[in-house]
Structure 1
Amino acid sequence: MEMRRKDRMLNQEETIDILNKSEYGVLSTIGKDNSPYGVPINFAYVDGVVYFHCAKAKGYKIINIMNNSNVCLTVVNDVCLQPEILSTKYRSAILFGKVSIVEDMEEKKKGLEALIKKLSPEYMEVGMKCIDKNTDNTCILKMEVVEMTGKGKKQ
């Protein structure tokens, strides 16, 4: 989809920076009845893919992904309200792609390690022990990015 406000378009490097600096985003999926479902989620962007983790229990997110793998991830950061001019400074990234459940144990560990490096880098040793202990009981999702856009308003 073409961006309407091209004057606010960010380049790929700036868009990836948003992904790397944001703690969470909203993952939107599509239900069997075509109902949208958006859920806040931690993520890590690595080598052109996005990794998420969740419980193995089949909640709405997993059920929807099993039914339709098309998803959208929306991330916003550097938000600053400007009430005096009725505006907001921000940076955002929107990614479209397909999600799959990672079955390969090494890739599951790669996804979990990426999440720890991003969200808890000062606890890598503890995190690696946790990965060794809990990888079997954790679901790792992988989003293959098909399209990515970034947008920002600086003033």
Structure 2
Amino acid sequence: MDKYFKPLRRKDRALKDEEALEILAKSNYGVLCVYDGNYPYGVPVNYFYEDGFIYVHTAREGHKIESIRSLDKVCFTVIGSSEVVASEFSTKYESVIVFGRAEILQGEQIKPALRKLVQKYSPHCLQEAERIIQDHLRDVAVIRIKVEHVQGKANR
């Protein structure tokens, strides 16, 4: 365990890294957390995960981008599934927390990531998406997060 990342308190609920990455890959929404020097900022986002990187579509300017420019360390969280079990005063869940470093991709280097986002969320619109990607290329960016540490947890 790296000195920066604390072990899970409930070791009995810890997932192996491979299973945590599977949950990360299959989930649809995550929360990207950045720090601007004043307050932490978490924002729900669409994303995809591939080969040790998380990709998030965003505008070229804004709170996320400004925060990453000042500090590239980020946290990304997903909840793969959850179900309240009221009679047991409990919740069944699976979740993943990723720690990593973010960089901002722009211009032509973002096209492959935008195409993969379309494949994940709108696979029936691939041809139309190509036109939209080209029309808006100068207005968008992609945040690419290199996964440095992953923790998965579940109560099933």
Q: Tell me whether the two structures share a fold, i.e. TM-score over 0.5.
A: yes
Task: After TM superposition, list the pairs within 5 Å mapping 1:48-59 onto structure 2.
Answer: 48-57=52-61, 59=62
- In structure 2, give the amino acid aligned to 1:141: I
Aligned residues of 2:102 and 2:144 also touching (Cα < 8 A): yes
Residue of structure 2 equivalent to 1:9:
14
Question: Structure 1's 16 and 124: CA in aligned 2 closer, same or farther, altered over 3 A?
Answer: farther
1:149 shift after superposition: 1.4
- In structure 2, give the amino acid aligned to 1:132: Q
- How big is each residue's C-alpha offset from its partner over 1:14-48, in whole Å with a ceiling of 9 and x where there is no partner? 21221222211111111123x11111111110111
Residue of structure 2 equivalent to 1:27:
32
Unaligned runs of 5+ in 2: none
Instruction: Give the whole-Å Cα distance in 1 for the aligned partners of 2:111 and 2:50.
Output: 13
Unaligned runs of 5+ in 1: none
Q: Secondary structure at the match of 1:97?
A: strand
Aligned residues of 2:25 and 2:49 also touching (Cα < 8 A): yes
Q: Secondary structure at the match of 1:4?
A: coil
**1:79 corresponds to 2:85:** no
1:61 shift after superposition: 1.1
- How big is each residue's C-alpha offset from its partner over 1:93-144, in whole Å with a ceiling of 9 and x where there is no partner? 1000011111362x31121112112112222222223222222221111101
Q: Secondary structure at the match of 2:9?
A: coil
Residue of structure 2 equivalent to 1:44:
48
When the two chains are superposed, the root-mean-square deviation of aligned CA atoms in Å is 1.4
Residue of structure 2 equivalent to 1:118:
120
Instruction: Give the whole-Å Cα distance in 1 for the aligned partners of 2:127 and 2:96.
Output: 31
Identity across the alignment (%): 36
Instruction: Give the whole-Å Cα distance in 2 for the aligned partners of 1:44 and 1:53.
Output: 9
Residue of structure 1 equivalent to 2:147:
145
TM-score by length of 1: 0.90
Instruction: Give the whole-Å Cα distance in 2 for the aligned partners of 1:141 and 1:73.
Output: 12
Aligned residues: 151
Instruction: Give the whole-Å Cα distance in 1 for the aligned partners of 2:129 and 2:135.
Output: 10
Structure 1 stretches of at least 4 aligned residues deviating more than 4 Å after TM superposition? none
